[in-house]
């Protein structure tokens, strides 16, 4: 009569998205006048808290707060720090989970920031960014 149910992994009830990509992000951001970018990055800031939060005890600030309040208040400096911290946190979580993907704050500074001087840098950064986030979300959906 007794059921012995043990749950070793914390598989989420609703899986996180794993289909984000650079081309879709850029095209939809252009069409929607950056509304898609704000929504997408807000979801990502919440997802990284869900994926990495139980392990590193940190919390990434919501992107809407960064975009609408702190970016103009700090003359654009805080978003640079936010991106660097987000990418560093994603890189640490990729390493902790044993996922073979080279990503971190250096990726942001190299491709996302200084890469703007060669024009294609941000495109490379967003490709790597969404690939890393998709890998994290897929691993979270599978193992919790």
Q: Give pLDDT, residue 14.
A: 87
**pLDDT recorded at residue 38:** 98
Cα(32)–Cα(11) distance, integer angstroms: 34
Strands (E), 3-143: none
- pLDDT of 144 reads 84
Q: What is the pLDDT of residue 102?
A: 95
Instruction: For the chain, 144 residues long, give each residue's pLDDT as a single digit of tens.
Output: 444 444 456 777 789 999 999 999 999 999 999 999 999 999 999 999 999 999 999 999 999 999 999 999 999 999 999 999 999 999 999 999 999 999 999 999 999 999 999 999 999 999 999 999 999 999 999 988
- 68 phi/psi in degrees, rounded to 5: -85, -25
Angle at 38 between CA 32 and CA 43, to 5 degrees: 125
Question: Looking at residue 2, what is its pLDDT?
Answer: 46
The predicted model scores a pTM of 0.90
């Amino acid at each position: 009569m007794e059921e012995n149910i043990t749950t070793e992994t914390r598989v989420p009830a609703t899986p996180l998205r794993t289909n984000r990509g650079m081309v879709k992000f850029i095209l939809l951001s252009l069409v929607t006048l950056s509304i898609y970018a704000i929504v997408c990055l807000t979801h990502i800031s919440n997802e990284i808290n869900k994926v990495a939060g139980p392990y590193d005890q940190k919390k990434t600030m919501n992107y809407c707060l960064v975009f609408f309040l702190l970016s103009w208040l700090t003359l654009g400096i805080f978003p640079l720090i936010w991106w660097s911290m987000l990418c560093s946190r994603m890189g640490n979580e990729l390493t902790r989970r044993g996922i073979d993907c080279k990503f971190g704050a250096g990726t942001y500074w190299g491709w996302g920031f200084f890469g703007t001087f060669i024009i294609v840098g941000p495109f490379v950064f967003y490709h790597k960014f969404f690939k890393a986030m998709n890998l994290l979300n897929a691993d979270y959906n599978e193992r919790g």
